[in-house]
Amino acid sequence: MNLFSKLDIGKYTLKNRIIMAPMTRCRAVEDNCANNLMAEYYSQRASAGLVITEATQISKMGIGYLCTPGIHTDKQVEAWKMVTKAVHEKGSVIFLQLWHVGRVSHSSFLDGKLPVAPSAVKIEGEHFTPNGMQAYETPKELSALEIKEIVSDYANAAKNAIKAGFDGVEIHGANGYLIDQFIKDGSNKRSDEYGGVIENRARFLFEVVEAVVDAIGNDKTALRLSPSGTFNSMSDTNTTEDFTYICSKLSKYDLAYLHVIDALDGDIRHGANVVELKTLRDAYDGVFIINGEYDKKRGNEVIENSFADAVAYASLFLANPDLPTRFELDAALNEPDPNTFYTHDENGYTDYKTL
């Protein structure tokens, strides 16, 4: 097996194991809706076995960044249809990533309401808001009833994704956003059934997984985690134990796949309690996708050694719309331009050259 082998996820057979990772690009400039430019961008990269969209808001309260797309209004659902149609016409499978940022927001996004989180623990530093750079705010601690309402928001967003033509959804449980905030004890200081031991801190995650599975089916449901991640002021005391428990319990759901972000250099520099990839792989019984600064050589090695079933590429896919072809031919790769990652037009988005 290698990057070019086929792979079954859910009811789909992927043409290769080169996955387009979810990447926020801030091109949803009107009403947080997908548009023709985004349809072109994703269809350009449909040589991937699987395309995973940028993180997409499940509700108004889930918004935390400018010009990011949503899947919680009828207009947004209709807008995404042009994207799914364009990718399907190029012969790829496309999943939508479901996103609630939790405390990684600001009242200026939320009609004056405070961001929400498992606990009233704020992030260090400043956030780019509609009114420029502002200090992060101390979030409002969610009540048990409000948690149930957000679980329902995930399920409704998953149903909307299927209406929009997506083949499935990836629940965003990584990178310091709401689900990750519940899992890790640096951000979860609760003393009720959602706090304390890992069985309680992971309760919200599993309620979301079960709600989405009930809404659209396990074969259309996937999950992304970042066990070693420190982005957005995240920390956890017993990372290996916590995520071994989570991965083991996830096995019973027979999801389309589990997508894990390997420890990145930045996480290590910020003092992450690194979880070994093999530990997670051994704990999870199902399709296992890995992401984290991989190239072709490392990607093939991790598949050949059975540490993962597929590899998700982010900035390499951003800059190389024809990445699988370039890998196959060992061709030179375009360099990504960080200055255009979060701008709002075609520059650095749809104008990267193919071979």
Q: What amino acid positions are annotated as catalytic residues? A: 177
CA distances, 201 to each of 119, 124, 214, 216, 324 (Å): 11, 22, 21, 25, 39
Q: How far apart are CA 355 and CA 353, in angstroms?
A: 7
3-state secondary structure of 144: helix
302: left (phi over 0), alpha (psi -120 to 50) or beta: alpha
Quick one: tokens of 312? 């998700």
In the structure encoding, which two tokens stand for residue 9, read together? Answer: 């996820």
Name the nearest CA neighbour of 92 among 103, 100, 84: 84
- DSSP state, residue 108: G
Give CA–CA dist 335/316, Å, rounded. Answer: 8
**Interatomic CA distance for residues 191 and 274, integer angstroms:** 26
Three-state SS at 254: coil
Question: In 3D, which of 306, 316, 313, 300 has the Cα closest to residue 284?
Answer: 306
CB 293 within 8 A of CB 300: no
With CA atoms as reference, report the closest residue to 68 among 106, 112, 34.
34
Question: 139 near 53, Cβ under 8 Å?
Answer: no
